[in-house]
Amino acid sequence: MNAGWEAVIGLEVHVQLATQSKIFSAAANQFGAPPNSLACPVDLGLPGVLPVLNEAAVRMAVKFGLAIGAEVCERCSFDRKNYFYPDLPKGYQISQLAAPIVGPGLLEVPLDDGTTLAVRIERAHLEEDAGKSIHDAYAGQTGVDLNRAGTPLLEVVSAPDLRTPEQASACFRQLHSLVRYLGICDGDLSQGSMRCDANVSVRPQGRKALGERTEIKNINSFRFVEKAIRFEIDRQIDRLEAGLPVVRETRLYDAAKDETRPMRGKEFSDDYRYFPDPDLLPVVIDHGFIEAARAELPELPGARRRRFQEELGLSEYDAGWLTRDPDTADYFEAATGTDGSNAKRVANWVMGELTARLNRENLTIGAAPVTATALGRLVARIEDGTLSSKTAKTVFEALWDGEGEVDAIIDGRGLKQVQDAGELTGLIDDIVARHPQQAEQFRAGRDKLLGFFVGQVMKATGGKANPRQVNELLREALAKS
Ligand code: ADP
Ligand code: MG
């Protein structure tokens, strides 16, 4: 399948910036308010109003530019993109065409096989979002909610550097991770905080020239990016192999049917009659502003991943997993002791038990009832031998249910592992003496019977003995009698 063909993919990702107010007005930038309660005269496009650029949006765009090593435009400007749509009351969207705020940069995208793909970012520009048409609120009618009108967007445009659906979704994920680290977007895909348009074409393997492309609009999940592109690649190859051309057009992905279908013919930038917005002066971004933004940059995902590998000895996979989202990385670091010796164990708990429980209850790590400090303590109690892995799970559940602190739970529930060798030896001798037949068979070579004895000891200690220690002591006891 697909033999002889190569896909070429470029992404355009819309990032809603997490500013307090909108990009050109003082209305609140918030999701989920009652329809039209957050639209002021500027957002409504009433006559006589003037847009005023939000400095916070500029700062966020600059931070993004610095994070991908791009040049920040010292004098960027805004243009009007004209089109007619019910949710766009002005009849144009303010965007940047000629002089975008962020120039070419590079995004390092970690791939599943452990390698990194450098994806060129052509540009990133500021623009305002449109409102929303609501089709399901009134029977047979369409409502318009302008709360989203004027929400600041950073549109990030990649070069056509991606070759597979997996690379494309990894790129989208990495952008998501980056804007979360930068604190410029809440990253909530379900609320439309990030939306991805995928440009897809195919060409015969080995050919340099790009094929005709289609653009799949508004994909809002990592998985759907992959599926939509996969469908589209196959569709284009089928057409070309049947002697039909790929038609330049905008398509929509239907997740329920797992297919893309045409939405409208592709418009070219001429169709938008772009021209400089006369209401907005060019924006001069000086050196001081850029350096102040640079000083606020946090440690970025790639650097943090490498640090987790080098300083904490985590595997590439674990480090990548834990650093994808800054809250997860923060939690992990807070649970890890200063010398990092317990890092691998903490990583296993975060990636295993904790994540499983969070997923089951549909919670984010920020809302985990088990704090990072508590998890760190729990792991310490495994390492000092107080807890077995089994009793540790019981303590974890109790922590989750709010039963108090780790040590109090261990004491309260009597979960302290029996470690006193003397105490255990007595118990074991006793058990061996009570089962002479099994002991005999064990000595005759039925090794499996060790499991029987371990079970007896565990039963007698209520699961509180250290299995490794029990194994050792049992072998000794069985050998000597
Ligand atoms: P437009 O003006 O139509 O928006 P751009 O040149 O700005 O076109 O490109 C938009 C996106 O499409 C970019 O992400 C770019 O990488 C991608 N792209 C351009 N040509 C192709 C192609 N032939 N196949 C796949 N993606 C492409
Ligand atoms: Mg475009």
Amino acid at 162: L
pLDDT value, residue 468: 79
63-91: pLDDT as tens digits: 999 999 999 999 999 999 999 999 999 99
Task: Decide if 277 contacts 265 (C-beta within 8 A).
Answer: no
| Angle, in degrees to the nearest 10, between helices 287-295 and 55-67 | 70
Ramachandran region, residue 450 (left: φ > 0; alpha: ψ -120 to 50; beta: rest) = alpha
Work out the pLDDT band at 1, boundaries 50, 70, 90. Answer: low
203-219: pLDDT as tens digits: 999 999 999 999 999 99
131-176: pLDDT as tens digits: 999 988 889 999 999 999 999 999 999 999 999 999 999 999 999 9
Establish whether residue 213 lines the binding site of ligand 1, counting it when its CB lies within 6 angstroms of any ligand atom. yes
Integer Cα distance of 406 and 223 in angstroms: 38
pLDDT value, residue 368: 96
Establish whether residue 157 lines the binding site of ligand 1, counting it when its CB lies within 6 angstroms of any ligand atom. yes
Work out the pLDDT band at 266, boundaries 50, 70, 90. Answer: low
* Best mutation site among 13, 127, 199, 203 for ligand 1 pocket (most ligand atoms within 8 Å of CB): 199
Integer Cα distance of 187 and 18 in angstroms: 9
Integer Cα distance of 299 and 177 in angstroms: 12
Integer Cα distance of 374 and 351 in angstroms: 16
pLDDT value, residue 189: 95
Q: Above 80 in pLDDT, residue 480?
A: no
Task: Decide if 222 contacts 173 (C-beta within 8 A).
Answer: yes
Establish whether residue 12 lines the binding site of ligand 1, counting it when its CB lies within 6 angstroms of any ligand atom. yes
* Overall average pLDDT of the 323-344 stretch: 91
Task: Decide if 172 contacts 221 (C-beta within 8 A).
Answer: no
358-371: pLDDT as tens digits: 999 999 999 999 99
Output the CA torsion sign for 187, 174, 208, 3: negative
Ligand 2 mean position, distance from CA 202 (Å): 19
Ligand 1 mean position, distance from CA 10 (Å): 6
pLDDT value, residue 222: 96
Q: Above 70 in pLDDT, residue 293?
A: yes
Going by alpha carbons, the residue nearest to atom 13 of ligand 1 is: 10
pLDDT value, residue 112: 86
Going by alpha carbons, the residue nearest to atom 7 of ligand 1 is: 157
Work out the pLDDT band at 354, boundaries 50, 70, 90. Answer: very high
Going by alpha carbons, the residue nearest to atom 17 of ligand 1 is: 10
Integer Cα distance of 171 and 156 in angstroms: 11
Q: Above 90 in pLDDT, residue 416?
A: no
Share of the chain above pLDDT 70, in %: 98
* Overall average pLDDT of the 453-475 stretch: 84
Amino acid at 405: E
Strand-pair partners of 12 = 157, 197
Q: Above 70 in pLDDT, residue 456?
A: yes
- Tokens at 17, concatenated: 């910036």
Q: Which residues contact 208 (CB under 8 A, 6 or more apart)?
A: none
Integer Cα distance of 343 and 404 in angstroms: 24
- Tokens at 223, concatenated: 């998985």
Give Rg (Cα) of the chain: 30
Work out the pLDDT band at 423, boundaries 50, 70, 90. Answer: confident
Task: Decide if 260 contacts 245 (C-beta within 8 A).
Answer: no
pLDDT value, residue 460: 84
Establish whether residue 11 lines the binding site of ligand 1, counting it when its CB lies within 6 angstroms of any ligand atom. yes
- Looking at the CA of 158, name the nearest ligand: 1
Amino acid at 404: G
Q: Which residue has the tokens 């090794």?
A: 447
156 three-class SS:
strand
**For residue 468, how many other CB atoms are within 10 A of its CB?**
10
Return mean pLDDT, the chain.
93
Going by alpha carbons, the residue nearest to atom 2 of ligand 1 is: 269
* Overall average pLDDT of the 422-446 stretch: 87
Phi and psi (nearest 5°) for 425? -60, -45
Share of the chain above pLDDT 90, in %: 79
